[in-house]
Amino acid sequence: MALPSFQFHRFSTRLVCLLLGLLAGALGIVYLLIDRANRANAIDHIDQNLRNGALIFHQNLTERIDYLAGSAKVMSGDAAIKPLLQQEVLDAATLRTTLVSYTHRVKAPVITLFSPDGKMLASTDEVLGEENMRPFRHLIQEATDKDMEQASDYSYLGGKLHILVVVPLYAPFPNIAAWFGLAYPIDQAFAQAIKKTTQLEVTFVSSPKDGAPRVLSTTLSPAMAAQVAHRIGMDDSGTAGITQILTLDHEPYVSLYEKLPLLGEFPVHIALQRSLATEMAPAIQLQNSMLKISLAALAVACLAALWLARGLSEPVQLLARHTRLVAAGDYSQSINLPREDELGQLATAFNQMTAGLAERDRVRNLLGMVVSPEIATQLLKSDLKLGGEEREVTILFCDLRDFTSLSEKMPPTEVLALLNRYLDRMSTIIEQHGGVIDKYIGDAIMALFGAPVAIPDAAARAITAARAMGDALEDLNRQLTAEGRPRLTFGIGINTARVVAGNMGSKTRLNYTVIGDGVNLASRLETQTKEPAHQTLIIVSEATAVAAGVAKNLRFLGSMQVKGKSDSIRTYAVDVLPRPWQERT
Amino acid sequence: MRFPSSSLFLCGLLCSVAGAADTVKVVVRTTLDEKPVADAVVSATPLDQSAPPAAADETFQIEQKDQEFQPYVTAVQVGARVNFPNRDTVQHHVYSLSKPKRFEIPLYKSGASETVVFDTPGIITIGCNIHDWMLAYIVVLPTPYFAKTDSTGAAALPPLPPGRYRLEVWHPRAPAPLVQEITSAPEQNAVLEFAVALKPDKRIRRAPGGKSSDY
């Protein structure tokens, strides 16, 4: 899969993105981990609370039973009721008001008096029908059978859940004259009391054999309690004793279900719950604070990254600008970057490099003046090694005639001035024609065509250059005549041959030049121009004439024996008009 | 004069009754919200002379009806007879453990009645042995000059012969009776105002007739 790649044109953007990305990622992961830990912790905590709540609930019930039984025992020992029971005809109305009076003492809203055989004598609750007496009778039967001093259980009275307790009225002990049946409702108030102790939501749900579960009492809102009842109805078994998360009104509640067995009925379900949001409220507050701190840290990091990136990219941009200047050949600028770090070092190195380049440029210019630019380039290009390569080169030798005797008649400075004037003109022409000045040998010029840079028409160029030099000499002579100075005359020999071109000399001092037989021949040909019979200032070898392809335009001089050569050389004269030798003669 | 106990104090015209009245009116209110206090017994005991004895045949009545004593507070002069008729649907067992008069009328049915003579001054608390919420007071006084405040907190003493009197205000929920000396003079009227800090009413609230609609 190809990922879309983002190209950041600016280094700073990349740095900022990287830093912020890393930080945001780290903070995000930390936040998520903390959130998960908090949630798990809250659930654990609630779970513990729920189990404690269940214990407290059961303890509450036990205490309530003990209290009821204890109070009932004291109550049953009250003498006031005994005269009533002694009367011939039982005064049920008075008995009932007496029981009402007892309800205040024992804080049980329902007190019923039964005869030892289970017949109801009086009850504080007139509307409780005979059908509600069954659980009491069951308990009385149980207590009688097992000879217990009290019996208790849970049951519905008038459709509402109650704790039932029966205690005997001894008259005298251990003769049981009657039974008190007390009832204490497990109602809304009871649920609220549990909630007050445990901070848990409490819901009691009946589970009739058929029909939907019914909420008996709850600390939740009716709608939420209905959802709890519905849930209990859905999975009646298997949920008891296990903590679950139940969503009520879009809010998660950690819930624990307990069962309360009833006397002769299906058990009542008790749901203990705590809102996860409430439990997590402090943690959420902490998380929110953390989020704010994280965002602030991100903002600070953003600024810091920008500052850092600018500190990095600005010098880089400066370096880039300077590099462009240097590339354009401007070595005059230097970078001012007073830093100790790598960038500072880079700037220093850059400045040193610029200085080095400027120095090299200066050397190159100087070199160009001392040697011809082509040779200078060649020198700079090559590794300045001794030795050379064999190549075909056209060598041009030009020597002033009788300059030694001329110079004897003139002061040396004037000689040098004249010589420089002459050499300058000739050199310019040679260079204009693609020739390279190899060296000046006193008043002689040695020039190369085809070295160090090979040119295809080197020989032709050399001949053309020689002609132009002849013309230039004529021009110079006219000026010299006008100045009242003596005229100059020269001879040019041109040969084309395969020679060795390269750097020659010692390891510390080199000359780019050509060496070979062909070089000497060029020099010899120049000497031949002194022969008046040839009537020419310029003599080229056949090799040059052939290479230039102009042999028919040249005047054949014939084969001549040249000093140092065993074979005779066919030579040609290049005529320049007007012929100086004619003028001279 | 003598100041009353800390929780009962005088205000209003107080003892400027230099030449006090032949009729004395008393108004009792609570200290905090100045609500009228009913069922307070105001009595004036002569200091300079002996009080006239009670009429021999004077009989008071405290009936039992709807499982309550009626009236709640009864003031009588020493030697008075109090009759306790049961006009209820259920039986009652009237008793008193108070020091001035200890007595018991065991369970007796509607229509029956008993008479008790109260010959020692003091406060007698009456209860019913089988109905804890039933409560009544008999204030036995050594003087015929007494009255009980009505629902407006006002009580008018019978005309007092001139002379010095010990004026006493008693209420079941007052921590202690308020006592003040006054002097009665002919042809003078006075209104005495009292403020009393009542203790909370601790009487047992009856279950609603035992016919709890909850069941």
Residue B164 near chain A (CB below 8 Å): no
Taking CB atoms and an 8 Å cutoff, what residues of chain A touch B89? 93
Q: Are residues A132 and A259 in the same domain?
A: no
Residue environment code for A94-125, b if the CB has 16+ CB neighbours within 10 A, otherwise e: bbbbbbbbbbeebebbbbbbbeeebebbbbbb
Q: Are residues A256 and A167 in the same domain?
A: no
Instruction: Answer whether residue A290 is part of any domain.
Output: no
End residue of a domain, out of A258, A277, A296: A277
Q: Which residues of chain B fall below pLDDT 70? A: 1-22, 207-215
Q: Mind listing the pLDDT tens digit for each residue in A376-423?
A: 676 666 555 556 788 889 999 999 888 888 888 888 888 888 889 999
Q: Are residues A513 and A404 in the same domain?
A: yes
**Any idea where the domains of chain B sit in the sequence?**
8-50+145-196, 59-141
Query: What is the second-level CATH architecture of the domain B59-141?
Result: Sandwich (2.60)
Tell me the residue range of the domain where A231 lies: 199-277
List the beta strands (DSSP E) in B78-170.
80-85, 92-96, 103-108, 113-118, 122-128, 131-141, 146-148, 154-156, 163-170
B90 and A126 within 8 Å at the Cβ level: the answer is no
Which of B64, B88, B130 to mutate: most A Cβ within 10 Å? B130
B207 and A100 within 8 Å at the Cβ level: the answer is yes
Q: Is A548 exposed, middle or buried (0-12, 13-18, 19+ CB in 10 A)?
A: buried
Running along chain A, 585 residues long, what does each successive block of 10 average in pLDDT? 57 79 89 88 86 86 89 86 88 91 88 90 82 88 90 88 91 88 90 87 82 86 87 68 82 86 84 86 87 89 84 82 85 82 85 85 72 67 65 91 83 88 91 88 90 84 91 92 88 91 78 85 87 84 84 77 76 68 40
> Is the pTM of the predicted complex or chain greater than 0.80?
no
- Minimal Cα–Cα distance from A41 to chain B, Å? 43
- Half-sphere CA count of B74, side-chain side, radius 13 A: 23
CATH number assigned to the domain comprising residue A162: 3.30.450.20
Name which of B91, B106, B204 is nearest A104 (Cβ-Cβ): B204
Q: Are residues A210 and A349 in the same domain?
A: no
Which of A82, A100, A104, A217 to mutate: most B Cβ within 10 Å? A100
Cα–Cα dist B152/A88, whole Å:
48
Question: Which helix H or strand E contains A490, and what residues bound it?
Answer: strand A490-505
- Minimal Cα–Cα distance from A175 to chain B, Å? 23
B8-50+145-196 under CATH 2.40.70.10, yes or no: no
Domains B8-50+145-196 and B59-141 share a fold: yes
- Minimal Cα–Cα distance from A98 to chain B, Å? 5
pLDDT of residue B45: 94
Instruction: Answer whether residue A291 is part of any domain.
Output: no
pLDDT of residue B31: 92
- The percent helix, strand, coil of chain B (3-state, each to 5) is 0, 50, 50
Residues 6+ apart with CB under 8 A from A322: A333, A335, A350, A354
Q: Are residues A476 and A554 in the same domain?
A: yes
Name which of B91, B106, B215 is nearest A128 (Cβ-Cβ): B215
**Six token digits for residue B150:** 């009505």
pLDDT of residue B91: 94
End residue of a domain, out of A346, A369, A392: A369
Q: Are residues A354 and A247 in the same domain?
A: no
B residues 25-84 lying closer than 8 A (beta carbon) to A: 67
**Six token digits for residue B63:** 């009936």
3-state secondary structure of A581: helix
Radius of gyration of chain B (CA): 19
List the beta strands (DSSP E) in chain B.
8-12, 23-30, 41-46, 59-61, 63-65, 68-70, 73-77, 80-85, 92-96, 103-108, 113-118, 122-128, 131-141, 146-148, 154-156, 163-170, 178-184, 189-196
Q: Is A21 exposed, middle or buried (0-12, 13-18, 19+ CB in 10 A)?
A: exposed
What value, to the nearest 5°, has the Cα angle with vertex A237 and ends A235 and A240?
100
Count of domains for chain A: 4
Instruction: Answer whether residue A147 is part of any domain.
Output: yes
Q: Are residues A389 and A470 in the same domain?
A: yes
Q: Are residues A146 and A218 in the same domain?
A: no
ipTM: 0.80
End residue of a domain, out of A237, A255, A277: A277
Radius of gyration of chain A (CA): 63
Q: Are residues A66 and A158 in the same domain?
A: yes
Name the DSSP letter for residue A133: G
Residue environment code for A478-492, b if the CB has 16+ CB neighbours within 10 A, otherwise e: eebeeeeeeebbbbb
Taking CB atoms and an 8 Å cutoff, what residues of chain B touch A124? 207, 210, 212
Q: Are residues A395 and A448 in the same domain?
A: yes
CA nearest to B66 within chain A? A97
A94 and B91 within 8 Å at the Cβ level: the answer is yes
**Six token digits for residue A519:** 């070089």
